[in-house]
Chain A
Protein backbone atom coordinates (compact mmCIF):
# COMPACT_ATOMS: atom_id res chain seq x y z
CA UNK A 1 0.00 0.00 0.00
CA UNK A 2 1.49 3.30 -1.01
CA UNK A 3 -0.01 6.66 -0.15
CA UNK A 4 -2.08 7.29 2.95
CA UNK A 5 -5.68 6.85 1.87
CA UNK A 6 -7.47 6.42 5.13
CA UNK A 7 -8.32 9.20 7.53
CA UNK A 8 -8.34 7.73 11.00
CA UNK A 9 -10.79 8.76 13.62
CA UNK A 10 -9.86 8.62 17.28
CA UNK A 11 -13.41 7.60 18.13
CA UNK A 12 -13.03 7.60 21.90
CA UNK A 13 -15.97 6.99 24.17
CA UNK A 14 -15.64 7.89 27.83
CA UNK A 15 -16.97 4.92 29.76
CA UNK A 16 -14.91 4.32 32.90
CA UNK A 17 -15.08 1.03 34.69
CA UNK A 18 -14.93 0.33 38.41
CA UNK A 19 -13.87 -3.05 39.73
CA UNK A 20 -14.91 -4.65 42.98
CA UNK A 21 -11.72 -6.04 44.43
CA UNK A 22 -13.63 -8.85 46.12
CA UNK A 23 -13.61 -10.01 49.73
CA UNK A 24 -10.21 -11.70 49.68
CA UNK A 25 -8.35 -8.81 48.06
CA UNK A 26 -10.17 -6.40 50.37
CA UNK A 27 -8.56 -8.07 53.39
CA UNK A 28 -5.22 -8.08 51.56
CA UNK A 29 -5.38 -4.32 50.88
CA UNK A 30 -6.61 -3.58 54.41
CA UNK A 31 -3.37 -5.09 55.68
CA UNK A 32 -1.41 -2.80 53.34
CA UNK A 33 -2.73 0.15 55.35
CA UNK A 34 -0.67 -1.20 58.27
CA UNK A 35 2.31 -1.91 56.00
CA UNK A 36 1.74 -5.62 56.38
CA UNK A 37 1.49 -8.30 53.74
CA UNK A 38 -0.67 -11.40 54.18
CA UNK A 39 -1.34 -14.52 52.15
CA UNK A 40 -3.75 -17.41 52.42
CA UNK A 41 -3.11 -21.11 52.60
CA UNK A 42 -4.65 -24.10 50.86
CA UNK A 43 -5.62 -26.62 53.58
CA UNK A 44 -4.89 -29.51 51.25
CA UNK A 45 -1.45 -28.84 49.74
CA UNK A 46 -0.34 -26.16 52.20
CA UNK A 47 0.61 -23.73 49.44
CA UNK A 48 0.58 -20.08 50.57
CA UNK A 49 -0.75 -17.66 47.96
CA UNK A 50 0.13 -14.01 47.51
CA UNK A 51 -2.13 -12.36 46.48
CA UNK A 52 -4.70 -14.41 48.38
CA UNK A 53 -7.41 -16.27 46.52
CA UNK A 54 -10.56 -18.25 46.95
CA UNK A 55 -9.51 -21.41 45.11
CA UNK A 56 -6.40 -23.53 44.94
CA UNK A 57 -6.55 -24.60 41.31
CA UNK A 58 -4.33 -27.64 41.74
CA UNK A 59 -6.38 -29.11 44.63
CA UNK A 60 -9.72 -27.59 43.58
CA UNK A 61 -9.94 -26.60 47.25
CA UNK A 62 -11.93 -23.58 48.40
CA UNK A 63 -9.97 -21.48 50.87
CA UNK A 64 -12.40 -20.06 53.45
CA UNK A 65 -12.53 -16.30 53.84
CA UNK A 66 -12.41 -16.35 57.65
CA UNK A 67 -9.57 -18.83 58.05
CA UNK A 68 -6.23 -19.83 56.61
CA UNK A 69 -4.71 -16.33 56.58
CA UNK A 70 -0.97 -16.21 57.03
CA UNK A 71 0.96 -13.18 58.25
CA UNK A 72 4.04 -12.76 56.14
CA UNK A 73 7.22 -10.73 56.60
CA UNK A 74 8.27 -7.78 54.44
CA UNK A 75 11.16 -9.76 53.04
CA UNK A 76 11.55 -12.03 50.05
CA UNK A 77 13.82 -13.55 47.41
CA UNK A 78 14.32 -12.42 43.80
CA UNK A 79 13.27 -15.33 41.57
CA UNK A 80 13.48 -13.63 38.19
CA UNK A 81 13.79 -10.17 36.65
CA UNK A 82 13.64 -8.20 33.45
CA UNK A 83 14.94 -4.74 32.57
CA UNK A 84 12.97 -2.42 30.35
CA UNK A 85 13.27 1.13 29.09
CA UNK A 86 9.58 1.18 28.34
CA UNK A 87 6.66 2.16 30.43
CA UNK A 88 4.46 -0.88 30.22
CA UNK A 89 1.30 1.22 30.20
CA UNK A 90 2.45 3.57 27.49
CA UNK A 91 4.64 1.79 24.98
CA UNK A 92 3.41 3.97 22.15
CA UNK A 93 4.91 7.00 23.88
CA UNK A 94 8.20 5.10 23.89
CA UNK A 95 10.80 5.29 26.55
CA UNK A 96 10.85 5.98 30.25
CA UNK A 97 13.74 8.16 31.49
CA UNK A 98 15.70 5.33 33.04
CA UNK A 99 15.50 1.59 32.48
CA UNK A 100 13.58 -0.01 35.28
CA UNK A 101 14.30 -3.38 36.80
CA UNK A 102 11.13 -5.38 37.30
CA UNK A 103 11.41 -8.39 39.55
CA UNK A 104 9.43 -11.47 40.44
CA UNK A 105 9.76 -11.67 44.20
CA UNK A 106 8.75 -14.56 46.41
CA UNK A 107 7.75 -13.22 49.81
CA UNK A 108 9.33 -15.36 52.54
CA UNK A 109 6.82 -17.94 53.76
CA UNK A 110 4.81 -17.88 50.51
CA UNK A 111 4.91 -20.17 47.47
CA UNK A 112 4.15 -17.69 44.70
CA UNK A 113 5.89 -14.61 43.34
CA UNK A 114 4.69 -11.02 42.88
CA UNK A 115 5.87 -8.52 40.29
CA UNK A 116 7.27 -5.14 41.39
CA UNK A 117 10.06 -2.73 40.60
CA UNK A 118 13.45 -3.08 42.24
CA UNK A 119 14.55 0.23 43.72
CA UNK A 120 18.04 1.67 44.28
CA UNK A 121 19.73 -1.37 42.78
CA UNK A 122 22.22 -0.99 39.93
CA UNK A 123 21.63 -3.21 36.92
CA UNK A 124 25.04 -4.86 37.30
CA UNK A 125 24.23 -5.84 40.88
CA UNK A 126 20.93 -7.62 40.21
CA UNK A 127 21.20 -11.31 41.00
CA UNK A 128 18.60 -14.02 41.06
CA UNK A 129 18.39 -15.28 44.64
CA UNK A 130 19.19 -11.92 46.22
CA UNK A 131 17.31 -10.99 49.40
CA UNK A 132 14.94 -8.06 49.18
CA UNK A 133 12.48 -6.19 51.31
CA UNK A 134 9.37 -4.16 50.61
CA UNK A 135 9.68 -0.38 50.44
CA UNK A 136 6.27 0.90 51.60
CA UNK A 137 4.75 4.24 50.77
CA UNK A 138 4.97 6.54 53.73
CA UNK A 139 1.20 6.90 53.96
CA UNK A 140 -0.35 3.74 52.52
CA UNK A 141 -3.87 3.98 51.13
CA UNK A 142 -4.78 0.31 50.86
CA UNK A 143 -3.99 -0.32 47.19
CA UNK A 144 -1.26 -2.03 45.13
CA UNK A 145 0.73 1.21 44.78
CA UNK A 146 1.39 1.15 48.55
CA UNK A 147 4.29 -1.14 47.73
CA UNK A 148 6.73 1.26 46.05
CA UNK A 149 8.98 -1.64 45.17
CA UNK A 150 11.68 -3.81 46.67
CA UNK A 151 15.10 -2.78 47.96
CA UNK A 152 18.10 -4.91 48.80
CA UNK A 153 18.26 -6.14 52.42
Chain B
Protein backbone atom coordinates (compact mmCIF):
# COMPACT_ATOMS: atom_id res chain seq x y z
CA UNK B 1 0.00 0.00 0.00
CA UNK B 2 1.14 3.62 -0.58
CA UNK B 3 2.40 5.06 2.66
CA UNK B 4 0.32 7.77 4.28
CA UNK B 5 1.78 10.37 6.61
CA UNK B 6 0.61 11.33 10.09
CA UNK B 7 1.37 15.05 10.03
CA UNK B 8 -0.24 16.29 13.22
CA UNK B 9 -2.03 15.13 16.35
CA UNK B 10 -3.38 16.25 19.69
CA UNK B 11 -4.94 14.58 22.69
CA UNK B 12 -6.74 16.33 25.54
CA UNK B 13 -5.87 15.37 29.12
CA UNK B 14 -8.09 12.47 30.22
CA UNK B 15 -10.44 13.00 33.14
CA UNK B 16 -12.88 10.71 34.95
CA UNK B 17 -15.19 13.72 35.06
CA UNK B 18 -13.90 16.45 32.76
CA UNK B 19 -16.64 18.79 33.87
CA UNK B 20 -16.61 20.70 30.64
CA UNK B 21 -18.67 20.06 27.54
CA UNK B 22 -17.86 17.50 24.89
CA UNK B 23 -17.96 20.18 22.21
CA UNK B 24 -15.22 22.21 23.90
CA UNK B 25 -13.18 19.04 24.27
CA UNK B 26 -13.61 18.16 20.59
CA UNK B 27 -12.60 21.69 19.61
CA UNK B 28 -9.49 21.58 21.80
CA UNK B 29 -8.36 18.33 20.16
CA UNK B 30 -9.14 19.34 16.57
CA UNK B 31 -7.64 22.82 16.94
CA UNK B 32 -4.61 21.29 18.65
CA UNK B 33 -4.02 18.82 15.82
CA UNK B 34 -4.31 21.52 13.13
CA UNK B 35 -1.98 23.83 15.09
CA UNK B 36 0.55 21.04 15.62
CA UNK B 37 0.92 20.81 11.84
CA UNK B 38 1.01 24.58 11.37
CA UNK B 39 -2.08 24.40 9.15
CA UNK B 40 -5.47 26.11 8.90
CA UNK B 41 -8.98 24.72 9.05
CA UNK B 42 -9.38 25.39 5.31
CA UNK B 43 -6.55 22.93 4.56
CA UNK B 44 -8.70 20.01 5.73
CA UNK B 45 -10.34 18.33 2.76
CA UNK B 46 -12.20 15.60 4.64
CA UNK B 47 -13.24 15.33 8.30
CA UNK B 48 -13.99 11.93 9.84
CA UNK B 49 -15.19 11.51 13.41
CA UNK B 50 -15.73 8.60 15.73
CA UNK B 51 -18.48 8.84 18.30
CA UNK B 52 -21.34 6.62 19.35
CA UNK B 53 -24.97 7.68 19.38
CA UNK B 54 -25.67 5.93 22.65
CA UNK B 55 -22.57 7.32 24.36
CA UNK B 56 -23.37 10.81 23.07
CA UNK B 57 -27.01 10.59 24.17
CA UNK B 58 -28.29 11.68 20.78
CA UNK B 59 -28.87 10.06 17.43
CA UNK B 60 -26.67 10.89 14.42
CA UNK B 61 -24.48 12.51 17.04
CA UNK B 62 -22.12 14.06 14.48
CA UNK B 63 -24.94 16.39 13.39
CA UNK B 64 -24.00 18.62 16.31
CA UNK B 65 -20.22 18.39 16.19
CA UNK B 66 -19.91 20.01 12.75
CA UNK B 67 -18.34 23.35 13.72
CA UNK B 68 -16.07 22.19 16.54
CA UNK B 69 -15.08 19.04 14.64
CA UNK B 70 -13.83 20.73 11.50
CA UNK B 71 -16.83 19.60 9.44
CA UNK B 72 -18.58 22.90 8.71
CA UNK B 73 -19.60 23.01 5.05
CA UNK B 74 -17.07 20.25 4.46
CA UNK B 75 -16.73 16.68 3.28
CA UNK B 76 -17.67 15.04 6.60
CA UNK B 77 -18.53 11.55 7.81
CA UNK B 78 -18.55 9.41 10.94
CA UNK B 79 -17.53 5.95 12.08
CA UNK B 80 -19.39 4.43 15.01
CA UNK B 81 -16.71 2.02 16.23
CA UNK B 82 -13.30 2.80 17.74
CA UNK B 83 -11.25 5.87 16.85
CA UNK B 84 -8.74 3.54 15.18
CA UNK B 85 -11.50 2.56 12.72
CA UNK B 86 -12.11 6.22 11.95
CA UNK B 87 -8.42 6.46 11.07
CA UNK B 88 -9.00 3.65 8.57
CA UNK B 89 -11.80 5.67 6.97
CA UNK B 90 -9.60 8.77 6.85
CA UNK B 91 -6.75 6.67 5.43
CA UNK B 92 -8.95 5.27 2.68
CA UNK B 93 -10.05 8.79 1.74
CA UNK B 94 -6.39 9.69 1.28
CA UNK B 95 -5.62 6.50 -0.64
CA UNK B 96 -8.58 7.21 -2.97
CA UNK B 97 -6.40 10.02 -4.35
CA UNK B 98 -9.15 12.58 -3.84
CA UNK B 99 -7.94 14.16 -0.62
CA UNK B 100 -4.89 16.06 0.53
CA UNK B 101 -5.58 16.31 4.23
CA UNK B 102 -7.79 14.14 6.31
CA UNK B 103 -8.78 15.11 9.84
CA UNK B 104 -9.78 12.25 12.14
CA UNK B 105 -11.04 12.74 15.66
CA UNK B 106 -12.74 10.51 18.21
CA UNK B 107 -13.81 10.37 21.82
CA UNK B 108 -16.62 10.82 24.28
CA UNK B 109 -17.49 11.42 27.91
CA UNK B 110 -18.05 8.26 29.92
CA UNK B 111 -18.82 10.43 32.96
CA UNK B 112 -22.26 11.08 31.42
CA UNK B 113 -23.61 7.53 31.38
CA UNK B 114 -23.10 4.11 33.03
CA UNK B 115 -20.64 2.73 30.48
CA UNK B 116 -20.69 -0.94 31.49
CA UNK B 117 -24.47 -1.05 31.78
CA UNK B 118 -24.66 0.56 28.34
CA UNK B 119 -22.55 -2.26 26.94
CA UNK B 120 -25.56 -4.49 27.60
CA UNK B 121 -27.06 -2.75 24.56
CA UNK B 122 -24.44 -4.50 22.49
CA UNK B 123 -25.86 -7.93 23.32
CA UNK B 124 -28.40 -9.89 21.30
CA UNK B 125 -31.69 -8.07 22.11
CA UNK B 126 -33.86 -11.16 21.70
CA UNK B 127 -31.71 -13.69 23.52
CA UNK B 128 -29.08 -12.32 25.91
CA UNK B 129 -30.32 -8.85 26.74
CA UNK B 130 -33.60 -9.81 28.44
CA UNK B 131 -31.80 -12.01 31.00
CA UNK B 132 -28.76 -9.72 31.23
CA UNK B 133 -25.86 -11.99 32.08
CA UNK B 134 -23.50 -10.73 29.38
CA UNK B 135 -21.79 -7.37 29.20
CA UNK B 136 -18.21 -6.35 28.50
CA UNK B 137 -17.10 -7.18 32.04
CA UNK B 138 -18.61 -10.64 32.45
CA UNK B 139 -17.31 -11.41 28.94
CA UNK B 140 -13.85 -10.35 30.11
CA UNK B 141 -14.21 -12.58 33.19
CA UNK B 142 -14.87 -15.53 30.89
CA UNK B 143 -11.95 -14.69 28.63
CA UNK B 144 -9.44 -14.22 31.41
CA UNK B 145 -10.47 -17.50 33.07
CA UNK B 146 -10.33 -19.34 29.72
CA UNK B 147 -6.77 -18.06 29.18
CA UNK B 148 -5.58 -18.89 32.73
CA UNK B 149 -7.05 -22.40 32.53
CA UNK B 150 -5.59 -23.18 29.13
CA UNK B 151 -2.01 -22.14 29.87
CA UNK B 152 -1.85 -22.58 33.66
CA UNK B 153 -1.01 -18.90 34.04
CA UNK B 154 -1.56 -17.27 37.45
CA UNK B 155 -3.77 -14.29 38.22
CA UNK B 156 -0.63 -12.55 39.55
CA UNK B 157 0.95 -12.76 36.09
CA UNK B 158 -2.01 -10.88 34.59
CA UNK B 159 -2.01 -8.37 37.49
CA UNK B 160 1.61 -7.57 36.59
CA UNK B 161 0.43 -6.22 33.24
CA UNK B 162 -1.94 -3.83 35.02
CA UNK B 163 0.91 -2.78 37.34
CA UNK B 164 3.21 -2.08 34.37
CA UNK B 165 0.60 -0.04 32.53
CA UNK B 166 -0.39 1.99 35.60
CA UNK B 167 3.27 2.71 36.34
CA UNK B 168 3.84 3.71 32.71
CA UNK B 169 0.75 5.94 32.88
CA UNK B 170 2.32 7.79 35.82
CA UNK B 171 4.99 9.00 33.38
CA UNK B 172 2.43 10.14 30.80
CA UNK B 173 1.02 13.56 31.73
CA UNK B 174 -2.09 13.08 29.54
CA UNK B 175 -3.14 9.80 31.17
CA UNK B 176 -6.07 9.56 33.55
CA UNK B 177 -5.00 10.64 37.02
CA UNK B 178 -6.86 7.75 38.68
CA UNK B 179 -4.84 5.33 36.55
CA UNK B 180 -1.44 6.90 37.25
CA UNK B 181 0.35 5.11 40.06
CA UNK B 182 4.12 4.84 40.22
CA UNK B 183 4.03 2.75 43.41
CA UNK B 184 1.29 0.26 42.60
CA UNK B 185 1.89 -3.39 43.48
CA UNK B 186 0.49 -6.71 42.28
CA UNK B 187 -1.21 -6.99 45.66
CA UNK B 188 -3.03 -3.68 45.09
CA UNK B 189 -4.40 -5.04 41.81
CA UNK B 190 -5.45 -8.36 43.33
CA UNK B 191 -7.01 -6.65 46.38
CA UNK B 192 -9.05 -4.22 44.28
CA UNK B 193 -12.73 -4.92 43.90
CA UNK B 194 -13.73 -8.02 41.96
CA UNK B 195 -15.59 -6.96 38.82
CA UNK B 196 -16.11 -10.38 37.28
CA UNK B 197 -13.83 -12.97 38.81
CA UNK B 198 -10.92 -13.28 38.00
CA UNK B 199 -11.02 -9.70 36.62
CA UNK B 200 -10.51 -7.04 39.31
CA UNK B 201 -11.15 -3.32 39.09
CA UNK B 202 -7.51 -2.32 38.52
CA UNK B 203 -7.21 -4.73 35.55
CA UNK B 204 -9.93 -2.74 33.77
CA UNK B 205 -9.24 0.17 31.40
CA UNK B 206 -11.44 2.70 33.16
CA UNK B 207 -13.86 4.48 30.81
CA UNK B 208 -13.30 8.23 31.06
CA UNK B 209 -13.68 11.56 29.26
CA UNK B 210 -11.41 12.52 26.41
CA UNK B 211 -10.98 13.33 22.74
CA UNK B 212 -8.03 12.99 20.37
CA UNK B 213 -7.45 14.08 16.79
CA UNK B 214 -4.90 13.43 14.06
CA UNK B 215 -4.16 14.55 10.53
CA UNK B 216 -3.31 12.30 7.59
CA UNK B 217 -1.80 13.32 4.28
CA UNK B 218 -0.52 11.52 1.17
CA UNK B 219 3.28 11.10 0.96
CA UNK B 220 4.07 14.15 -1.17
CA UNK B 221 1.78 16.43 0.77
CA UNK B 222 3.06 15.08 4.11
CA UNK B 223 6.63 16.02 3.22
CA UNK B 224 5.49 19.55 2.36
CA UNK B 225 3.84 19.91 5.77
CA UNK B 226 6.57 18.43 7.96
CA UNK B 227 10.08 17.06 7.65
CA UNK B 228 9.37 14.56 10.41
CA UNK B 229 6.17 12.70 9.53
CA UNK B 230 5.29 9.24 10.83
CA UNK B 231 4.26 6.84 8.08
CA UNK B 232 1.40 4.39 8.15
CA UNK B 233 2.87 1.55 6.07
CA UNK B 234 0.36 -1.17 6.83
CA UNK B 235 -3.13 -1.70 8.17
CA UNK B 236 -5.22 -4.81 8.80
CA UNK B 237 -8.61 -5.40 10.34
CA UNK B 238 -10.73 -8.40 11.09
CA UNK B 239 -14.00 -9.38 12.73
CA UNK B 240 -14.97 -12.63 14.34
CA UNK B 241 -18.34 -14.11 15.18
CA UNK B 242 -20.58 -12.51 17.78
CA UNK B 243 -21.65 -15.15 20.31
CA UNK B 244 -19.06 -15.74 23.03
CA UNK B 245 -20.13 -19.39 23.12
CA UNK B 246 -19.05 -19.82 19.48
CA UNK B 247 -15.54 -18.50 20.04
CA UNK B 248 -12.28 -19.85 21.42
CA UNK B 249 -11.71 -17.13 23.99
CA UNK B 250 -8.16 -18.25 24.82
CA UNK B 251 -6.89 -16.45 21.74
CA UNK B 252 -7.84 -13.65 19.35
CA UNK B 253 -8.37 -14.92 15.82
CA UNK B 254 -9.41 -11.49 14.62
CA UNK B 255 -6.22 -9.92 15.98
CA UNK B 256 -4.11 -12.66 14.40
CA UNK B 257 -5.69 -12.13 10.97
CA UNK B 258 -5.65 -8.33 11.26
CA UNK B 259 -1.95 -8.57 12.14
CA UNK B 260 -1.18 -10.79 9.13
CA UNK B 261 -2.88 -8.32 6.82
CA UNK B 262 -1.00 -5.36 8.30
CA UNK B 263 2.38 -7.16 8.33
CA UNK B 264 1.92 -8.21 4.69
CA UNK B 265 1.13 -4.63 3.66
CA UNK B 266 4.20 -3.29 5.51
CA UNK B 267 6.49 -6.12 4.37
CA UNK B 268 7.15 -7.34 7.90
CA UNK B 269 8.33 -10.96 8.00
CA UNK B 270 9.30 -11.41 11.65
CA UNK B 271 7.40 -9.10 13.99
CA UNK B 272 9.38 -10.36 17.00
CA UNK B 273 12.56 -8.93 15.50
CA UNK B 274 11.23 -6.01 13.48
CA UNK B 275 8.75 -4.36 15.86
CA UNK B 276 10.26 -1.97 18.40
CA UNK B 277 7.14 -1.28 20.44
CA UNK B 278 3.38 -1.72 20.51
CA UNK B 279 0.51 0.41 21.75
CA UNK B 280 -2.58 -1.80 22.20
CA UNK B 281 -6.14 -0.93 23.10
CA UNK B 282 -6.27 -3.44 25.95
CA UNK B 283 -9.67 -3.01 27.57
CA UNK B 284 -8.50 -5.51 30.23
CA UNK B 285 -4.99 -6.50 31.30
CA UNK B 286 -5.29 -10.04 29.91
CA UNK B 287 -6.15 -8.70 26.45
CA UNK B 288 -2.64 -7.27 26.16
CA UNK B 289 -1.24 -10.77 26.63
CA UNK B 290 -3.65 -12.35 24.16
CA UNK B 291 -2.92 -9.62 21.56
CA UNK B 292 0.89 -10.00 21.92
CA UNK B 293 0.50 -13.70 21.20
CA UNK B 294 -1.94 -13.20 18.32
CA UNK B 295 0.51 -10.82 16.63
CA UNK B 296 3.43 -13.20 17.07
CA UNK B 297 5.40 -10.87 19.37
CA UNK B 298 5.67 -13.86 21.72
CA UNK B 299 4.78 -17.56 21.49
CA UNK B 300 1.28 -18.76 22.36
CA UNK B 301 0.85 -19.17 26.11
CA UNK B 302 4.07 -17.21 26.80
CA UNK B 303 2.57 -13.71 26.74
CA UNK B 304 3.04 -13.06 30.45
CA UNK B 305 6.75 -13.97 30.18
CA UNK B 306 7.51 -11.23 27.65
CA UNK B 307 9.55 -8.36 29.05
CA UNK B 308 7.31 -5.55 27.85
CA UNK B 309 8.61 -2.75 30.09
CA UNK B 310 9.68 0.54 28.48
CA UNK B 311 13.29 -0.73 28.44
CA UNK B 312 12.26 -4.36 27.83
CA UNK B 313 12.50 -6.69 24.81
CA UNK B 314 9.34 -5.36 23.16
CA UNK B 315 7.86 -2.45 25.10
CA UNK B 316 4.07 -2.66 25.16
CA UNK B 317 1.92 0.30 26.10
CA UNK B 318 4.76 2.58 27.25
CA UNK B 319 2.11 5.34 27.52
CA UNK B 320 0.08 3.24 29.95
CA UNK B 321 -2.19 1.94 27.20
CA UNK B 322 -5.94 1.92 27.58
CA UNK B 323 -5.50 1.09 31.27
CA UNK B 324 -3.97 4.57 31.46
CA UNK B 325 -7.37 5.96 30.40
CA UNK B 326 -10.11 4.75 28.10
CA UNK B 327 -12.34 7.44 26.56
CA UNK B 328 -14.85 5.43 24.48
CA UNK B 329 -14.35 6.03 20.74
CA UNK B 330 -11.02 7.73 21.38
CA UNK B 331 -8.86 4.98 22.88
CA UNK B 332 -7.62 3.28 19.69
CA UNK B 333 -6.89 6.65 18.08
CA UNK B 334 -4.81 7.60 21.13
CA UNK B 335 -2.81 4.39 20.67
CA UNK B 336 -1.89 5.52 17.15
CA UNK B 337 -0.93 8.96 18.43
CA UNK B 338 1.18 7.45 21.23
CA UNK B 339 2.98 5.14 18.79
CA UNK B 340 3.61 8.17 16.54
CA UNK B 341 5.05 10.12 19.50
CA UNK B 342 7.47 7.27 20.17
CA UNK B 343 8.63 7.21 16.54
CA UNK B 344 9.15 10.97 16.55
CA UNK B 345 11.08 10.79 19.83
CA UNK B 346 8.49 12.96 21.54
CA UNK B 347 7.36 10.57 24.28
CA UNK B 348 8.95 12.66 26.98
CA UNK B 349 9.35 10.63 30.17
CA UNK B 350 8.38 7.28 28.62
CA UNK B 351 10.42 7.26 25.42
CA UNK B 352 11.47 3.88 24.01
CA UNK B 353 15.08 3.95 22.75
CA UNK B 354 15.68 3.69 18.99
CA UNK B 355 12.00 3.25 18.14
CA UNK B 356 11.68 2.86 14.36
CA UNK B 357 8.71 0.54 13.78
CA UNK B 358 5.62 0.32 15.93
CA UNK B 359 2.28 -1.43 16.12
CA UNK B 360 -0.84 0.44 17.22
CA UNK B 361 -4.17 -1.30 17.59
CA UNK B 362 -7.82 -0.54 18.21
CA UNK B 363 -10.75 -2.79 18.94
CA UNK B 364 -14.46 -3.01 19.51
CA UNK B 365 -16.91 -5.58 20.81
CA UNK B 366 -17.07 -8.16 23.58
CA UNK B 367 -13.65 -9.73 24.15
CA UNK B 368 -12.33 -7.59 21.28
CA UNK B 369 -14.56 -9.17 18.65
CA UNK B 370 -13.14 -6.76 16.06
CA UNK B 371 -9.50 -5.70 15.89
CA UNK B 372 -7.63 -3.21 13.74
CA UNK B 373 -3.83 -3.05 13.51
CA UNK B 374 -1.54 -0.32 12.15
CA UNK B 375 2.14 -0.50 11.32
CA UNK B 376 3.82 2.85 11.84
CA UNK B 377 7.31 3.82 10.79
CA UNK B 378 9.34 6.87 11.67
CA UNK B 379 11.71 8.96 9.58
CA UNK B 380 11.27 10.06 5.99
Contact = CB atoms under 8 A, between A and B. Distances in A.
A54 B61 CA distance: 33
B244 A104 contact: yes
A138 B131 CA distance: 17
B116 A82 contact: no
A64 B17 CA distance: 51
Contacts of A8: 112
Contact of B196 (A17, A84, A106, A117): A84
Interface string A51-90: 1000001000000000000000000000111111111111
A91 B114 contact: yes
Residue in B18, B112, B137, B197 whose Cβ sees the most chain A Cβ within 10 Å: B197
Contact of B20 (A6, A81, A85, A114): A6
Contacts of A6: 19-21
B145 interface: yes
Interface residues of A, number: 45
Contact of A80 (B120, B127, B145): B145
A112 B243 contact: yes
Contacts of A49: 246
Contacts of A83: 141, 194, 196-197
B170 to A, nearest CB: 20
Interface residues of B, number: 41
A45 interface: no
Nearest to B242: A57
A57 B133 contact: no
Nearest to B145: A80
Nearest to B124: A51
A57 B253 CA distance: 14
B182 interface: no
Contacts of B199: 82
A147 B137 CA distance: 22
A143 B132 CA distance: 13
Nearest to B113: A92
Given A11-B57, A83-B196, A84-B195, A144 B128 contact: yes
A87 B128 CA distance: 14
Interface in B134-164: 134-135, 137-138, 141-142, 145-146, 149
Contacts of A80: 142, 145-146, 149, 249
B18 A1 contact: yes
Interface of A: 1, 4-6, 8, 11, 17, 19-22, 25, 49-51, 57, 79-92, 99, 102, 104, 106, 112-117, 128, 143-145, 147
25 contacts: A4-B19, A6-B21, A19-B126, A25-B127, A49-B246, A57-B241, A82-B141, A83-B141, A83-B194, A83-B196, A84-B194, A86-B137, A88-B120, A88-B132, A89-B120, A91-B114, A91-B116, A112-B246, A113-B245, A114-B245, A115-B134, A143-B130, A144-B126, A145-B131, A147-B131
A116 B146 CA distance: 17
Contacts, number: 115
Contacts of B241: 57
A150 B270 CA distance: 47
Given A1-B18, A4-B19, 9 more contacts: A1-B19, A1-B20, A5-B20, A19-B125, A25-B126, A81-B142, A89-B135, A116-B133, A144-B130
A11 B59 CA distance: 13
State the 3 A-B residue pairs at the shortest beta-carbon distance, nearest first: A82-B141, A113-B245, A92-B114
A88 B133 contact: yes
Given A104-B142, A104-B245, A84 B137 contact: yes
A88 B135 contact: yes
A115 B245 contact: yes
Nearest to A95: B193
A33 to B, nearest CB: 16
B194 A85 contact: yes
Nearest to A50: B245
B117 A92 contact: yes
A17 B129 CA distance: 13
Contacts of A22: 126
Contacts of B245: 50, 79, 104, 106, 112-115
B49 to A, nearest CB: 21
A78 to B, nearest CB: 11
Contacts of B27: none
